[in-house]
Every structure is written in structure tokens, then in C-alpha cells.
Structure 1
Amino acid sequence: MPRLTVLGTGYLGVTHAACMAELGFDVLGMDVDESKIARLSAGEVPFYEPDLEPLVAKHLDSGKLRFTTSYEEIAEFGDVHFTCVGTPQKRGDLGADLTQVDAVIAGLAPHLRRPCLVVGKSTVPVGTAARLAEYLRTHAPAGDAAELAWNPEFLREGFAVLDTLKPDRLVVGVRSAVAEATLREVYADLIDAGIPFLVTDFATAELVKVAANAFLATKISFINAMAEVCEAAGADVTALADAIGHDPRIGRRFLNAGLGFGGGCLPKDIRAFMARAGELGAAEALTFLREVDAINMRRRVRTVELAREACGGALLGRRIGVLGAAFKPNSDDVRDSPALSVAGQLQLQGALVSVYDPKAMDNAAALFPTLAYAPSAVDACRGADLVLHVTEWPEFLAIDPAVLGEVVGSRVILDARNALDPDRWREAGWTYRSLGRP
């Protein structure tokens, strides 16, 4: 059984390392951040992901999982090296910043003195794998025996452990039978369980992830565009989505109109996809993604407009309780969070904003320190002229509107996720507003 390493201990890296240990491999994780490695070695995962911290602790105890800051130790230990570093959006540009990807390959290559497989999992512009394969060939002492493959990740935050251990599919971009055989051995248990194993070239493997994200973003923005039309026409976008979702060619999943998508992946990935298509001379093929992005960003503006209307036409001095800060439930990730973006805009326009989120409070406060943060949903809404629901945590869906109604200043709620039951809230004496519904 090959020994595995994981370079980069962010969201993807820690999840992959723990799950590979769960599959029975000896795994060594690596990061240049000494404080992060110290926390992980003590069993503390520095972000929230359901089921992940117990899995890390389990395999630290079993001895299957360890962490280090040494490239030399990684190279000596591992037969298969997974690179799991971030590719954020460049400052002032749509393209992906490959600084971390290049750095980890440059740090690893000089220490690769025996045959091994380096497997990229990061979301990168098409063409990156071919460039990195050549770099490995010329900079690793092992030469051609230090081979590259590309194995994109398809994790959903909040379901990352499940998506690693029971993925919809496995995609591997390889250039040799040896690389394919090695990855078949790594993923043997999943393949035996019937998970599709798709073997492609480098470019196709790189494109699979960004194409999937582009399609998902398009579907979400489509229903949000329909919400704009429904508002103008007096129609109900939720009923519309239910009706068209029965068509098997369309499907109901991800047809929930609301505040739109955010997070550290989808927005930056579709922008990087557009940028790379332009570099390849195929810019016109992806011009529709500009409108997808624009529709998504308009949802935030529209939510602020509806909040202003719900407050009688002015936000200055109005108290607003905001339920949610993470970009989605079951996560503490606030990167490009629509929830926090709206809360910040409301504050800039003079509202007195109080935010509560079950898991993302610390991250939110670090990013938006001027907002007020409350210890509970009830406290966030105390004395509020408007309650704004922006992240669909189960805790918020279960709130008793009658109980919440006892602490607010006005029983007015704006459901920016179309996730609450309008009849239940109206029966409790609330004025209920949402995006794309009467």
C-alpha cells in the first residue's frame, strides 16, 4: 500500500488527509504555517466542517495521520503526494493566483529523489498541469520518475467528509499507465464500491471542475433572474421553480431563488474560467458567465433595497437583526459571503446591524469588525425594526416566530433565502417578504 502525503492543510487538505487515513493509508500532512501544524497535531481543526475534527483525532490516535512542516520529510515519506493548496482570485484581475501552487511544487521538487506520483487537486486554469509536469521533470532529482497527475476535488462545504469518502465520481488526468494504476490503487475501495472512475488527459481533468462550477452557477443565477421577472410580474418564483423542476431535463436541485452564491470557490472559479478562456482565444464561449456573475451580485443589491422598503424607505437609525454570516449553512466560511456583504451595506447606509451565526461569528468579526455581533438569534433581533434571514441554518428554520415576535420592535421579516414558511410567520402576526415572491 503506498504511503500518502498531503501538501497544504486548509479546507481541502485536512479533509483529504483525514479521509485517506480513514481508507487505511498512512498519511503525512504538511504546511509551512507552523502554528497551523501545531494545532492540527493537537487534534484541533482551525475551521468548522461537520464530522472532520473527530476524524482527525481518530487517526492521530491510530497513528495513521501525522503532520509536519518539512518538505524533506514529506519527500522521504511519501509515494503519492497530493497538492491541496488554494488558488484565490488575483487582486485587480479575474484570473487565478497560482502563487501557492507554484510554491508547493517548487518546494517539493528538489527533494524528490525516487519514483513517485505528485497529484494536483487544486482548481487551476487549464494548461497548469502540463506546465507543472515539465517543471517536475527538470527540477526533481528523480527526473521522469517524478510524475504528475491531476485529480480535481468536488467537495461541498458542509458535506466534505461524505463527498471524499462517497464521491459522485473520481476524475484523474494522467499521462501514463503507471500513474493510472497508482491512482486506481489509492482509490480501490471507492472504485470497488461502484464510484465511477474517469480517466482523462490533463486538460480535460482541469476543465471538469470549472465546467461543473460554471454550470451550477448558471443554474442558480437562472432562477434568480426568474425571480427578478416574477417580482415585476407579481408571480411566485418558488412555485415556478417547483413546476419547472419536475422536468427531468431541468431538475429541482439548485433552483432555489434567493441571495445567490458566494464562498471561496464558485465566484472566483467562474471568473478565472472566463480569464483563462480569453487567454486561449475562446473568450466569446464564456461571455454568458459575465451575466451569471452580474445576476448573482444583483441579488445582494436587491436584498438591501427590499430591506430599505421594509423599514419604511430609510435605513438610517433602523435596527436590523441579521440571521447568518457564513456563505452557506454547516460552514464557518465567510469568504465572499452574501450574508455579510448585505449586513455591511446596511450598516454603511446607517442601519444599526446586529449579526448572529451559529459557527461563523469569529470569522465574520475578523472580516467585518465594525458590525455588532450577538450571542444568540434572539439577542440579535431584540428591538429590531426588521429581521433579515440570510443563511439557512436549521436553527433559524426552527425558530418559533411567536417567541421571536416578543422581542422585536416590529414583526417584519425579510427571508432572503426563501427558506422559511411564509404562512407560519404570517399567522404569528409577521409581515413576511422575500425575493421573487408576492
Structure 2
Amino acid sequence: MVNVGVMGTGYVGLVHGAVLSSYGFRVTCMDVDKQKIERLNQGISPIYEPGLEELLQSGLRAGNLVFTASAQQVVQTSDVLFIAVGTPAKEDGSADLSYVWDVVQQIGKHINGHKVIVSKSTMPVGTSRSIAMYLDGMLRGTPYRAHVASNPEFLRQGKAVSDSLSPSRVVIGAESDEAVQMLKKVYATHLEQDVPFLFTNRETAEMIKYASNSFLAVKISFINELALLSEKVGAKIQDIATGMGMDDRISPHFLQAGPGYGGSCFPKDTQAIVDVGRKNGEELYVVRAAIAANEKQKAKMVSKIEETLSFDGTLKGRTVAVWGLTFKPDTDDIRYSPSYEIIQGLLGRGAAVKVYCPQGMKQAKLYWTDLNGRIQYCGSEAECSQQADAIVLMTEWEQFRAANWEKIARGMRGNAFFDMRNMFAGDASVLQWFKYYPVGASEYGYPLREAQ
């Protein structure tokens, strides 16, 4: 049986380790945060991801899943090591690889046999080759070899467990047969399921990850720019997206207009690939435009709220209820969430802001320290909306559909409803109580006309 090590217990590493343990592998997950490790060994997940905590507890009960703060333990007890630490963006947009190199140094320090080292984190093109060269240098004069491969993840937060159990594809960038054969053993279940596999070189595997996320970001920015234009010319963005999506060359996926993309991947990955292009003498104009359009979209949403609610060019005296802090539903991840910048913009224009999110408030209180003393956290949608002049729906949590609209509307001071996800477009139960402002339709057009 292959012994698997996972270095890093964030969204990627934790899900990957838990899923592999469910296949019967003995998996050791390592993190430098000792308190986090203690909670994990008790079966307590530090993140919200549907199905994850059940997998953790099942792996612990079966003895297949171990958590440790010891780099030596995970390196020396594993045949294959997955690097799954963060690669956040620096101020200049380039990827911060300091956590990656910390892990690589620990691997080189403690290695005690032939190992397959797999880059699971999203890393700039060429990083896996650099890791291989570094480890080759460290192991010179020893009988050991490190076979380095790139195996990018394609997980959707909120669906990460199901995506790991049934992936859309598995991409493996490797240049040694030892690495390929090891990863075929690790992913034997997926091979049996006829999941599509692509075997290529390391640089191509790394590039596929960036290319995929950048393309989706471009698609989102494109539909958002059309949404802004639609509001001015009287067109309906939802019908436009439907019409475009009927073309199988385009597909309907990622054509939902909104307040801009966010999360842990699209913002940093688009910046990182632009940085890679710049360093290699190739300006990526299309990706750069998507980044700029995304920033414009968030600013436009704030301006739309201000223009609707203000009396004297500001929002002083206005109270805005923000529903949803996470960048998408079914996760507690608030990284690069559009909600942050929308809230900042509203506060900067003088509004009082109340917020509610089913899963994001704990993370917001922990990481949005600059906002904590300026916003009011609430325990429900109804509490958040009490005496508010407007609701701004930022995240399409399914539980919002069950809201008591009459109770919420009667408890408000105003009746504006800014639906940044078009979650309730055409929903008569909402439209009868509120002045409804969707994204990509003029105030007096669809869907308001249907409610009049």
C-alpha cells in the first residue's frame, strides 16, 4: 500500500488528504499550526466544506488519516508527498512561493529514501522544475532520488469533496516513469472510473491550471461588462446569457452576471499568469483586461447603490444590509470576496452597514479587522435588515430563498433590494415587497415590468 503525505491542510490539502484516506491509503497530513493539528486529530474541520468533516472523522476512525506538525514524520513515513500550501499574491501580483520553499527545504532535510514529490498547489510555470533541480542538488552524494511532478487541483469550493471524488479530469505533468506510475497508483480509482487523464510535462501541467482559471475569469468579466451596457440600453443580461449559452461553442457556464469574481483562485491566478507573461516578454492583454474589468464591476456596483439611495451625493444617514460575505455559497472562504470591497465602498460614502452570512462571519471577524469596528454583525437576515434602507444580496445562499419577505420588508425603513446575483429575478414573492435592482437590467425594465 502506498503511504501518502500531504504538506499543508488548507482547502486543497485537507480535502485531498481526506479523500485519499477514504480510498484506503494511509495518509499523513502536516501543518505548522499545532492548534489546528490538535483540532483535526479530534475530527474538527477548520473550514466549512460540505461533506469534509464526515470524511475526516471516518478516516480517523479507520486509522487511515493522521495529522501531525512534524515535517520529519510526514516526509519519512510517506512514499509520495503532495505539496499543498498557499501561494498568495504579493503586492506586485506575483505568487508568493515562500511557503512552498519552506516545505521543499524540509523535504530535502528529512528525506530518507526515494520519494515522489507532487506540486498540488497552484505554482507559476517552471516552479516544479526548480523544485526538482533544488532537491537534486541537496541529494547529490546520497543514494536517494526525488521524482518531482505537477498535479494541479481543479476543485470548486463548496463542491470540493465531490470534485475530488469525481474529478472532471486529472492532469499529471511528470518526466520520470517513477512519478507517473506512483500517481497512477494514487489515482487508480479514477482510472477505473474512466476519468479523463492527461499526461504531459511539468510546465504544461502548471500552465493548464492558470489557463483554465484565467479563461473563466475572462468569461465572467465579459458578461459583467455586457451587463453594465445592458442596463443603459434596455437589454436583459439574463436572456443574453441564455442566448449565448445555447451555442455549444460558448456554453452557459460562467455567464452569470454579478458583482465581480473573487475567491482564492481567480484573483491571484490571473495576476500571477500576467506576471509570468511579463517576466517572459509576453504581455497578456486579454487577462489584464479581465482583471481591470473586474475591478470596474465592483466599483460600479457601489456607485449604483449610491446613486439610488443618496440625497446629497453621499450615503450619510443610510443603513445598508449586506447579505452574504463569502465569495460564493457553501463555503466559509472570504478571500478576495467582492463583499469586502462593496462594504468598504459603502462605508466610504457614509453608509452604516449591517451584515449577515450563514458561514462567513467567523472568518470575516478574524481577517477583516479593518472593518470590525465599523460594521454590525447580525444573527439572521431579518435582524440584518431591521431599519435598513436597502438590502444588498452579495452571495446566493440557498437559505435566502426561505426568507419571510413580508416580515423583512415591514421591518425595514426603505424598500430597495439590490440583487447582485440576480437570485430573485422574476420572483413575485420578492418583487411585490421591494424596489428591485438586478444586475444587467434597467430599473424600469425586466424584471420590474413583470411585477408592476
Contact 1:118 1:146 in 2 (8 A): yes
Q: Which runs of 5+ in 2 are unaligned?
A: 443-452
Contact 1:80 1:119 in 2 (8 A): yes
Cα displacement (A) at 1:144? 5.8
Query: What do the CA deviations read for 1:258-306 (whole angstroms, capped 9, x no partner)?
Result: 11110111101000000011111222xx111111011111121111111
Which runs of structure 1 show a deviation greater than 3 angstroms over 4 or more consecutive aligned residues?
A: 140-144
| 2:405 pairs with one of 376, 401, 404 | 401
The 5 A counterparts of 1:36-75 are 36-75=36-75
2:159 counterpart of 1:159: yes
| 1:304 pairs with one of 295, 302, 305 | 302
Cα displacement (A) at 1:100? 0.5
**Counterpart in the other structure of 1:116:** 115
Other structure's SS at 1:422 match: coil
Q: What amino acid is the match of 1:389?
A: L
Q: What amino acid is the match of 2:372?
A: P
**Counterpart in the other structure of 1:249:** 249
Other structure's SS at 2:411 match: coil
297-306 or 168-177, which moves further after superposition? 297-306
416-425 or 232-241, which moves further after superposition? 416-425
Cα displacement (A) at 1:425? 4.8
**Counterpart in the other structure of 1:389:** 393
Query: What do the CA deviations read for 1:22-73 (whole angstroms, capped 9, x no partner)?
Result: 1110000111111111111111111111110111011111100001111221
Distance in 2, Cα, partners of 1:130 & 1:357: 42
**Counterpart in the other structure of 2:182:** 182
Cα displacement (A) at 1:423? 4.2
**Counterpart in the other structure of 2:126:** 127
Contact 1:113 1:140 in 2 (8 A): no
**Counterpart in the other structure of 2:22:** 22
Other structure's SS at 2:207 match: helix
Cα displacement (A) at 1:422? 3.5
**Counterpart in the other structure of 1:291:** 289
2:156 counterpart of 1:138: no
Distance in 2, Cα, partners of 1:344 & 1:24: 47
Cα displacement (A) at 1:401? 2.4
Contact 2:225 2:297 in 1 (8 A): no
Q: Report the count of equivalent residues.
A: 435
Distance in 1, Cα, partners of 2:343 & 2:384: 12
Other structure's SS at 1:397 match: helix
Cα displacement (A) at 1:399? 2.2
Contact 1:50 1:330 in 2 (8 A): yes
**Counterpart in the other structure of 2:448:** none
Superposed CA RMSD: 1.3
Contact 1:326 1:340 in 2 (8 A): no
**Counterpart in the other structure of 1:193:** 193
Cα displacement (A) at 1:93? 0.7
Contact 1:245 1:251 in 2 (8 A): yes
Contact 2:84 2:119 in 1 (8 A): yes
2:261 counterpart of 1:261: yes
Distance in 1, Cα, partners of 2:399 & 2:344: 23
Percentage of pairs with the same residue: 38
Contact 1:340 1:364 in 2 (8 A): no
State TM-score, norm by structure 1: 0.97
Q: What amino acid is the match of 2:184?
A: R
**Counterpart in the other structure of 1:99:** 98
The 5 A counterparts of 1:259-408 are 259-283=259-283, 286-313=284-311, 314-366=314-366, 367=368, 368-370=371-373, 371-408=375-412
Cα displacement (A) at 1:416? 1.0
Distance in 1, Cα, partners of 2:431 & 2:145: 69
Distance in 2, Cα, partners of 1:357 & 1:341: 16
Q: What amino acid is the match of 1:356?
A: Y
Contact 1:356 1:375 in 2 (8 A): yes
Contact 2:315 2:351 in 1 (8 A): yes
Contact 1:137 1:144 in 2 (8 A): no
**Counterpart in the other structure of 2:414:** 410
Contact 1:274 1:289 in 2 (8 A): yes
Cα displacement (A) at 1:257? 0.5
Residues 426 and 44 of structure 1: is their aligned pair in 2 closer, same or farther, counting only changes over 3 Å?
A: closer
Query: What do the CA deviations read for 1:203-239 (whole angstroms, capped 9, x no partner)?
Result: 1010010000011001111100111211221111111
Contact 1:123 1:152 in 2 (8 A): yes
Q: What amino acid is the match of 2:233?
A: A
